A and B are shown apart, each in its own frame.
Chain A
């Protein structure tokens, strides 16, 4: 179903936007549904909404390698075809003229972004990661521990321990990644020795 802008505004707000089931759509909106031939012959795949954590089902229609429509998945047991205002407008995220299409670089003190090639950007980042890591890597670090004294009492003392980490790099993100991406991300960051690893769950 392709909602017009006007229909969308009518249905939006606090209420859920009624999705693919034409019979659920009252009056005027029903016309918009029956008139719409856009998804005819399109390939259908399923996805899960990228916004909140309810996990609603979305059907994605593609034609000639382009996303032409997204709508509620009527087979999905949680959402049963319905979507909220954000989920219902997902295709506008996919097809969005403001999306970044090339890596960008901003030099120290520069006033502008500069478009750069992927290879260059990735190589530069790798060099910086290595350079910072090598210079800031800590094999040992001090921790306070309680130590038993000869008289039986405990005393707090500072001692050195092996930590094998870098405190020169920090990372935040990301609840926007797939599980498999989160897994290799934490694995990679920890292989570098980062401990300042945080993300949306903390805020």
Chain B
């Protein structure tokens, strides 16, 4: 989230699209209702009339997978009706930048952007660039009238998204579209603000990233980014999926969104050269320009004294991916299916049910030599060798199942969607024979290291040099109980030497050798600091010799009245509660909306220690201390993580186009895309049965065998694949088994009654489910025909309840296909059939 949960109360309009907070983030709904009590409007756009929709002022249905058409129509409406916030758009976005004359959009090229290579399914992005001044900054037209400026190209791109066309694609009635556009468009005024909340309803599509980009464009046009009650807010699905992402448990990033090194970057210099963005724009803060400090401090944290300037801080010990290699989820299970792995860890995750195309995943597991499954409960992944249709005798995989303890039996921090990092204390020691996950990692590290120390082996340096200073070691070097606090301190970082700023007179000491870092501002690229994750630097710090765990704070002061609670826990980065808050003020530093001032420039600010006037910011921790943009010489642009310093209406960094364009889902009910001649996202990777050998790698569009659009979703009583909640008696009783929800109209057509047992079938597999016939789904009118949609929760699996009464995973139906940028699987739009069992 750019903002945070309580901040929802500050909005004038809340758009819930791609999420269902009343059921999946129930307590967040309270803050939406607080906003409504003050007169805010809640809009829900969803294929299904959800429980969130039941509380909304305005509900608009749309067919799954057509969000870009819907939002593109909103962009057109906002521009056509002059609803955009002109001063914000001109100063704080790239609207005025002049684009390469060779650039062409999908309106001119039958649905693709310039530079498309159909054979490689990839773009050469050369033409997605700017015309440059001699000084090296993009040419701009501040009147926004030049036909080659971003604003005019965007207007042209979305001119094709008129109400008739959008309604024809989405199935949303025209008058509903106009009502949503008008209501949300009302937040383009300085004193009005709108927020958007999305979840997997937006990410799990072949156009997932572009769904969110489309909304980001709207938020920038309306001046809603950086504002209290604004922003674009991902409602994440797990208690610490924010933290586990921040800490780099993904193939492409190290902790703190620092890219993993690839093979051609032979040394740290080459790495820094490639990943440190440069800009000639004097007013850009270009925060990623600090990247060398973060990678060096990370290497110092993980390799300690073994990392020296002479050995490139151990850079060679980090594993490298091949150039262009993708090792993400779908690729991982594709490789597993092809028998490429011997060993596999499934740690607190149940891919046999959560993985898209779960049938392929389950067959892949059978090709492993060994597997380690760490969980509270047995599950479909650990027990795959005794699953439906599997003969244990045929499965040669050795499986270890290790019991971890629950969250109340250990201490540590987790990060919520609003980036609040909150500390949990242990209520009791681990129950029975279970262990905290951290202790299991500690044990495995110790034992593997010991084997390399005693027996030798391939390339032991990264293992034997890995720092592991998390508690008292016995004579064998083993830690019997690790200290979470010591890990948290390594994450925060230490000054390994005295750090002095020699540029000021007299030189100023920034950090004292041996102490915890104050925050990432003082990290160094020369090995004098260590820091496990730069964005968490400042979370466990020290003041006047006393160490402070900032994440465990429980003070409830709310000085702005906006609900930021700056002394409750700690938020990354540097306890900033609203990201891009410099965009909430005008170029002179005055809040666009004084009633909701996130920050404001105070020229008369008194230093509390010296009592002298030192101009500075009041309110939230600003996006950098620099004075406001209009300040001569020292003023800075608001979007500090962008090398350009401004928000991107034009986004040349993505794989599938600088502007979001509507494409159909891989599986869809239409013969053709009503927007262009390019049916599906032209930059997605296609997996086929010919390549993988998996019979499940197939897809069917416009096929009479699979005529209905399907989507997966969640209910409030269960969580993810249900491994925890299926075991909770109260929850299992409330929602005991898999169901498929469908409209009264479809049920009538198929002769299905509420409660009937039905078979739901896709090209990949089938599941048995109870029919739930409701008015919440209604048939859509799309391209002149009637289209039905059904929905299923994915919380169930064959292993528990043990009598099989829960049914199996809805992901047995979903395809192997992912978003063009993130490769997140498309489980929110696919095709099925439904029939009475």
Interface residues of B in 227-260 (CB under 8 A from A): 235-251, 254-255, 260
Q: How far is the CA of A16 from the CA of B346 in the complex (A)?
A: 32
* A contact residues around B727 at 8 Å (CB): 92-93, 96, 98-99
Query: Shortest CB–CB separation between residue A17 and chain B, in angstroms?
Result: 9
Query: Shortest CB–CB separation between residue B421 and chain A, in angstroms?
Result: 7
Query: Shortest CB–CB separation between residue A136 and chain B, in angstroms?
Result: 7
Taking each of B246, B249, B719, B730, which has the highest tally of chain A beta carbons within 10 Å of its own beta carbon? B249
Q: Across the interface, do B348 and A100 meet the contact criterion of CB distance under 8 Å? A: no
Q: How far is the CA of A144 from the CA of B730 in the complex (A)?
A: 55
Q: Across the interface, do B438 and A132 meet the contact criterion of CB distance under 8 Å? A: no
Give A83-119 as 1s and 0s: 1 = Cβ < 8 Å from B's Cβ atoms: 1111101101111101111111111111101000010
Number of chain A residues whose Cβ lies closer than 8 Å to a Cβ of chain B = 126
Q: Across the interface, do A48 and B414 meet the contact criterion of CB distance under 8 Å? A: yes
The answer to whether A178 has its CB under 8 Å from any CB of chain B is: yes
Q: Across the interface, do A108 and B266 meet the contact criterion of CB distance under 8 Å? A: no
* A contact residues around B245 at 8 Å (CB): 175, 201
The answer to whether A124 has its CB under 8 Å from any CB of chain B is: yes
The answer to whether B127 has its CB under 8 Å from any CB of chain A is: no
Give B269-282 as 1s and 0s: 1 = Cβ < 8 Å from A's Cβ atoms: 00000000000000
The answer to whether A155 has its CB under 8 Å from any CB of chain B is: no
Which residue from chain A places its CB closest to the CB of B489 in the assembled complex?
A: A180
Q: How far is the CA of A52 from the CA of B21 in the complex (A)?
A: 10
Q: Across the interface, do A200 and B349 meet the contact criterion of CB distance under 8 Å? A: yes
Which residue from chain B places its CB closest to the CB of A3 in the assembled complex?
A: B730
* B contact residues around A93 at 8 Å (CB): 376, 406, 724, 727-728
Cβ contact of B251, chosen from A110, A164, A198, cutoff 8 A: A198
* B contact residues around A121 at 8 Å (CB): 400, 402
* A contact residues around B250 at 8 Å (CB): 197-199, 201-202
Q: Across the interface, do A84 and B27 meet the contact criterion of CB distance under 8 Å? A: yes
> Which label, helix, strand, loop or mixed, suits the secondary structure of the A interface?
mixed
Q: Across the interface, do B451 and A105 meet the contact criterion of CB distance under 8 Å? A: no
* B contact residues around A55 at 8 Å (CB): 5, 239, 414, 416-418, 420, 422
Q: Across the interface, do A164 and B317 meet the contact criterion of CB distance under 8 Å? A: yes
Number of chain B residues whose Cβ lies closer than 8 Å to a Cβ of chain A = 175
Given contacts A50-B406, A179-B415, whether A109 and B484 have CB atoms under 8 Å apart is no
Q: Across the interface, do A102 and B26 meet the contact criterion of CB distance under 8 Å? A: no
Cβ contact of A14, chosen from B23, B396, B416, B420, cutoff 8 A: B23
Given contacts A126-B451, A163-B321, whether A77 and B6 have CB atoms under 8 Å apart is yes
Q: Across the interface, do B240 and A133 meet the contact criterion of CB distance under 8 Å? A: no
Interface residues of A in 108-160 (CB under 8 A from B): 108-111, 113, 118, 121-130, 132-137, 139, 141-145
The answer to whether B731 has its CB under 8 Å from any CB of chain A is: yes
The answer to whether B118 has its CB under 8 Å from any CB of chain A is: no
The answer to whether A34 has its CB under 8 Å from any CB of chain B is: no
* B contact residues around A79 at 8 Å (CB): 27
* B contact residues around A139 at 8 Å (CB): 459
* A contact residues around B142 at 8 Å (CB): none
Q: Across the interface, do A191 and B376 meet the contact criterion of CB distance under 8 Å? A: no
Query: Shortest CB–CB separation between residue B53 and chain A, in angstroms?
Result: 11
Query: Shortest CB–CB separation between residue A109 and chain B, in angstroms?
Result: 5
Query: Shortest CB–CB separation between residue B208 and chain A, in angstroms?
Result: 11
Q: Across the interface, do B422 and A48 meet the contact criterion of CB distance under 8 Å? A: yes
Which residue from chain B places its CB closest to the CB of A168 in the assembled complex?
A: B342
Leading 6 A-B pairs by shortest Cβ distance: A178-B412, A55-B416, A173-B347, A174-B348, A100-B403, A101-B432
What are 7 A-B contacts with C-beta separation under 8 Å?
A62-B427, A99-B727, A100-B375, A133-B457, A165-B319, A168-B341, A185-B437
